[in-house]
Amino acid sequence: MLHVYKSQVVCTCLNGKISVGGCFSSNDLSLVQPVVCGIQPAGVRGSCPSAALATERPPSPEPAFNTAQRNSNLGAGSPPPAAPTVHISDGHLSPPRKKHREDFKFGKILGEGSFSTVVLAKECATDKEFAMKILEKLHIIKEKKVRHVKREKDILSLLNHPFFVKLFFTFQDEEKLYFGLSYAKNGELLKYIRKHRSFDEACTRFYSAEIVSALDYLHGLGIIHRDLKPENILLNEDMHIQITDFGTAKQLPSDNRANSFVGTAQYVSPELLTEKAACKSFWGFVCLFCSDLWALGCIIYQLVAGLPPFRATNEYLIFQKIIKLDYEFPEKFFPKAQTWWESWQRLGCENCGGFQPLRSHPFFEGISWDDLHLQTPPKLTAFLPAMTEDDEDCYGNVRNFQSPIYFHSKSTHSFVENNLIFKMGPVDKRKGLFARRRQLLLTEGPHLYYVDPVNKILKGEIPWSPELRPEAKNFKTFFVHTPNRTYYLMDPRGNAHTWCKKIEEVWKRVYKNHQKQ
């Protein structure tokens, strides 16, 4: 219930529905003056049994866990949790100045979700940049997501660790809620997986260790993320991780369990699909946070192999593969990481001794855990194991592909929209550690098409731009660099240099004016 008078505001919080900067009523969403429990600003009467969500980051209650454990999770040299800011005026406590939409300049869209949009915002007074999460009030109420929004705000207010986004402030206007978050300038981890396709062992080890350190801290607070995936792992300007998106997260009381089904299909743990409980493992022992640890394993697999371990054409088929543990390792998968995956126990679970056995796994040998956030991350480098004769055999001998699509007598073909073909031939197109035989066609336009030679299907095209650059790695392997992705190709006939030379000739012909500039 919410009553608004000319000079007074009466706020009664019902069912724990509290707005950012005030209260959600049961019927509408109105902007009211914030009420902090125990302290009432002038002009406010009534009571608020739960702490209202203040416009600046409010003091958070100390969670029920050991303080020494929290400090160790933060790592040596990490600053202690910041004390809440209190303003004193005329001998009375007063809340910090509210922020308003007019205090910011809004720029590009950083991300979009089901209930929010994240945009780049610059504070006019300080020129500081924030990732501003904007939520539509009416949409939140219509979809019954008020509790989700409050829970996300509460969890973000509690977090104080370098590997998580930081909530600096919240405010609202008549139509929207605003969360001022730290801006991770280098974007999503997924972007780099797509660009490099697979990370080398040093990069995989370092970023996996940062995720492990972050989960150790998060689980120490009794919080399950429940939607951990590369899209929700951001990279700041120093290329350290910052985990985000706590819209589906849960903080567990000591006597409760999180058994609702949330998450992304490719990273969902088998116990969620079988027992429908995030706290009961697939092998029968109790573990409160196994779903996050399963997602961690899927992410590490993807960092190495370039693709998630469970893939199919729809969610149902993906779930069936997860339940049956139907996955395989590419031949070049890092052996130490593979032994971790093949373990019958989920390392990091309470029954396995917590996170210490996970940190001690041979894959993390050499990691200095206490100062990870102070270290310089290794340069992101693609993992490209050398192709062997055995690798060629597994794709079939080149002579087996001498079909009309490969050796067409005409200089044009329907796959290339009747463009003149300058060069064509079979290549193995890599996607992480996985490779597929394709027919590559360089045509006028210019275009670089690749075709499935077995099913006679056009699979895609390498985008041309002034920034496109070919690079021969050896006689067989060559790269085609584009602004958003590097394509890794292998010519089984050993004509990599010929491909690069021909692509360069076409590039110079098309972009000769650009080259002079």
Last residue of a domain, one of 322, 350, 374: 374
Last residue of a domain, one of 313, 340, 374: 374
Q: Which two structure tokens, joined as six digits, stand for 241? A: 């991780």
- The answer to whether 171 and 56 have CB atoms below 8 angstroms apart is no
Phi, psi of 59 (to 5 degrees): -65, 135
> Is residue 35 domain-resident?
no
Of 290, 234, 243, 284, whose CA–CA distance to 267 is shortest?
290
> Is residue 256 domain-resident?
yes
Same domain? For 350 and 445 the reply is no
**How far is the CA of 236 from the CAs of 76, 166, 168, in angstroms?**
20, 12, 16
Q: Which two structure tokens, joined as six digits, stand for 359? A: 């940190």
- Per residue in 373-419, pLDDT tens? 999 999 988 776 544 433 433 333 333 333 333 334 443 456 677 77
Same domain? For 367 and 395 the reply is no
- The answer to whether 383 and 198 have CB atoms below 8 angstroms apart is yes
Number of domains in the chain: 2
**How far is the CA of 88 from the CAs of 91, 96, 374, 479, in angstroms?**
6, 10, 36, 62
Decide: helix, strand or coil at residue 180. strand
Of 269, 270, 273, 340, whose CA–CA distance to 300 is shortest?
340
Same domain? For 335 and 413 the reply is no
Structural domain range at position 330: 189-374
- The answer to whether 82 and 160 have CB atoms below 8 angstroms apart is yes
Same domain? For 394 and 289 the reply is no
Same domain? For 347 and 484 the reply is no
Same domain? For 408 and 331 the reply is no
User: Using CA atoms, how far apart are residues 436 and 452, in angstroms rounded to an integer?
Assistant: 9
3-state helix, strand, coil in the chain (%, to 5): 30, 25, 45
Last residue of a domain, one of 342, 374, 406: 374
Q: Is 133 annotated as a binding residue?
A: yes
User: Using CA atoms, how far apart are residues 276 and 229, in angstroms rounded to an integer?
Assistant: 20
Same domain? For 307 and 200 the reply is yes
Same domain? For 325 and 199 the reply is yes
- The answer to whether 428 and 436 have CB atoms below 8 angstroms apart is yes
Q: Which residues pair with 45 in a beta bridge?
A: 10
Same domain? For 339 and 213 the reply is yes
- The answer to whether 395 and 428 have CB atoms below 8 angstroms apart is yes
Active site residue 227: yes
- Give the CATH number, domain containing residue 467: 2.30.29.30
Q: Which two structure tokens, joined as six digits, stand for 123? A: 């504070």
Which of 154, 227, 292, 491 is an active site residue? 227
Same domain? For 343 and 471 the reply is no
Q: Given CA atoms 382, 383, 386, 391 in this order, what sign does their dihedral have?
A: negative
Same domain? For 401 and 361 the reply is no
Per DSSP, 62 falls in state P
> Is residue 227 domain-resident?
yes
- Give the CATH number, domain containing residue 258: 1.10.510.10
- The answer to whether 499 and 491 have CB atoms below 8 angstroms apart is yes
- The answer to whether 305 and 230 have CB atoms below 8 angstroms apart is no
> Is residue 113 domain-resident?
no
Tens digits of pLDDT across the chain (517 residues): 333 333 333 333 334 443 444 444 333 333 333 333 333 333 333 333 333 333 444 444 444 334 444 444 444 444 444 444 444 444 555 566 789 999 999 999 999 888 899 999 999 999 999 999 999 999 999 999 999 999 999 999 999 999 999 999 999 999 999 999 999 999 999 999 988 888 999 999 999 999 999 999 999 999 999 899 999 999 999 999 999 999 889 888 755 444 454 567 776 767 666 654 444 443 333 355 788 988 999 999 999 988 899 988 888 899 999 888 888 888 778 888 887 666 545 554 555 567 888 898 899 999 999 999 999 999 988 776 544 433 433 333 333 333 333 334 443 456 677 778 889 999 998 877 777 889 999 998 899 999 988 888 888 999 999 999 999 988 888 989 998 888 889 898 888 999 999 999 999 988 876 554 5
Q: Which two structure tokens, joined as six digits, stand for 459? A: 């699979």
pLDDT of residue 269: 67
> Is residue 72 domain-resident?
no
- Per residue in 207-224, pLDDT tens? 999 999 999 999 999 999
> Is residue 282 domain-resident?
yes
- Sorted by sequence, the CB contacts under 8 Å of residue 288 that are 6+ apart come out as 219, 224, 252, 257, 278, 279, 350
Angle subtended at Cα 455 by Cα 451 and Cα 460, rounded to the nearest 5 degrees: 25
> Is residue 361 domain-resident?
yes
> Is residue 315 domain-resident?
yes
Which pTM value belongs to this model? 0.63
Same domain? For 360 and 415 the reply is no
pLDDT of residue 346: 52
